[in-house]
Amino acid sequence: MDYAIETVALTKIFSDWWGRAKVYAVDDLNLQVRPNEVFGLLGPNGSGKTTTIKMLLGLLHPTKGHAVILGGDGTDPKISARIGFLPEESYLYRFLNARETLDFYGRLFGLDSKTREMRIEALLEMVGLRAVASRPVGTYSKGMARRIGLAQALINDPDLLILDEPTTGLDPIGTRQIKDLIIKLAERGKTVLLCSHLLADVEDVCDRIAILYGGKVQAHGRVGDLLQKTNKRQIVTDAISDATADRIREILKQEHAECEISSPMERLETFFINTVVAAQQQAMPTSGAFSTTQIGGFLAGGVDKGDILDKLVAAPVSEKAQAGPVRTDRPQPQETVTPEPNKDLLSKLTQPATSSPAEPAEPDSEQPAQAVPETTVQQEQARKSILDELTGRKQPDGSTVRPSDDPREDGGDA
């Protein structure tokens, strides 16, 4: 079969000045990444992940072996036009602002000005940097630079996305959003090569992984296969009485099985996000801490995101993605991804005054009551003002939005 990425005995030896071999950075690496899968390349620092990527893209020459990427050479413009690449740090031109940065990369892809303009606005919206788009990126925080880096990797609507440590420098919300984005892109038929040592990131989104150490693959396969304990079963129930629990134990005893009953722990990630959202909805005075959540518009789980992605991604969800044999099974949402609360979170982030006040799925008791806005225009204004408030930007009419603007008033009314 045609792989999206295939390396054959790929080897990189760094030699000293005299040409003597010093370090095997990558040693006889054979990787196969199938089209339309999310492949995770894991490994500790210095295990050869980044070196492998650099060889794929022609930034380093392999000492031995070769790499085929999308059926060709990574340096061939025809191939590289279909690749999006985010290096391990977002190496940006410090003197350009966000819009100019994206425009520059768009021009390198030979996109016409209309397409560029459309995509730049969509991407800025998506990564939540529209409010600061006219500031030089040299003044950006690491997380903001990361977002622009991601945006530049997406400007050509790539078939293959190579992400090297995409979540470094991002707060948990940003991390979550990038992970959601990766899943969405995979659903739309893209191939993603994700390179990371943050295991949680990889576990959540990858279909298959390979673990590198010392430049060699130590283990590889489907995440589900690698992690599933086939000799165990897990049952999750609503809160039940101790009596019922005892009865279950009785039943299990007849099968000679041990069981452990406890209340499941919430994931720290989910808890963190819920806490931040709650604080945000109370419209607490912004400080530095809020600057991380300004990506409200980014990856809006509901309608917004779909629009942007559809605009950006020309290809709809492909049939191959749904039924093809190529598609490896994605880890069950229960196991890893927690889409339900997350979706709520994201819709809240973008629509603070949402019309559904109940939020039954939300276990967080701190959740404040919310007012129902009169019109969608107000909704839009409120959403904007939150973004502005988070970034400390001025409204288009020139007035600075104070932290205690719309949302708190709504809350007060309620």
Q: Could you list the residues that contact another protein (CB under 8 A)?
A: 14, 23, 25, 46, 48, 50-51, 54, 57-61, 74-75, 77-78, 80-81, 83, 85, 87, 89, 91-93, 95-96, 100, 104-105, 107-110, 136, 149, 152, 156
User: Min. distance of Cβ 55 from another protein in angstroms?
Assistant: 9
Going by the DSSP 8-state scheme, the letter that residue 136 receives in this structure is B
Rounded CA separation 108/102 (Å): 10
Nearer to another protein, 27 or 180 (CB): 27
Nearer to another protein, 60 or 326 (CB): 60
User: Min. distance of Cβ 352 from another protein in angstroms?
Assistant: 35
User: Min. distance of Cβ 181 from another protein in angstroms?
Assistant: 19
Instruction: Provide the 10 A C-beta neighbour count for residue 90.
Output: 24
Placement of tokens 């005893």 in the chain? 253
Nearer to another protein, 149 or 174 (CB): 149
Nearer to another protein, 104 or 272 (CB): 104
User: Min. distance of Cβ 166 from another protein in angstroms?
Assistant: 14
Q: What number of CA atoms fall less than 13 Å from residue 387's CA on the CB side?
A: 23
Q: Give rounded-to-5 percent helix, strand, coil for the chain.
A: 40, 15, 40
User: Min. distance of Cβ 159 from another protein in angstroms?
Assistant: 13
Nearer to another protein, 113 or 404 (CB): 113
User: Min. distance of Cβ 25 from another protein in angstroms?
Assistant: 5
Nearer to another protein, 49 or 383 (CB): 49
Rounded CA separation 334/107 (Å): 42
Q: What number of CA atoms fall less than 13 Å from residue 86's CA on the CB side?
A: 28
Nearer to another protein, 13 or 279 (CB): 13
User: Min. distance of Cβ 102 from another protein in angstroms?
Assistant: 11
Nearer to another protein, 133 or 283 (CB): 133
Q: How far is CA 287 from CA 12, 106, 220, 351, 366, in A?
A: 47, 34, 44, 21, 21
Helix ranges (DSSP H) in 215-257: 223-227, 242-254
Rounded CA separation 86/204 (Å): 19
CA 67, 70, 76 angle in degrees (round to 5)? 75
User: Min. distance of Cβ 183 from another protein in angstroms?
Assistant: 24
Q: How far is CA 302 from CA 237, 263, 280, in A?
A: 28, 31, 19
Residue 104 burial (CB < 10 Å; 0-12/13-18/19+)?
Answer: middle
User: Min. distance of Cβ 28 from another protein in angstroms?
Assistant: 16
Question: Beta strand 5-15 with 64-69: parallel, antiparallel or unpaired?
Answer: antiparallel
Rounded CA separation 32/56 (Å): 12
Rounded CA separation 176/167 (Å): 9
Nearer to another protein, 100 or 266 (CB): 100
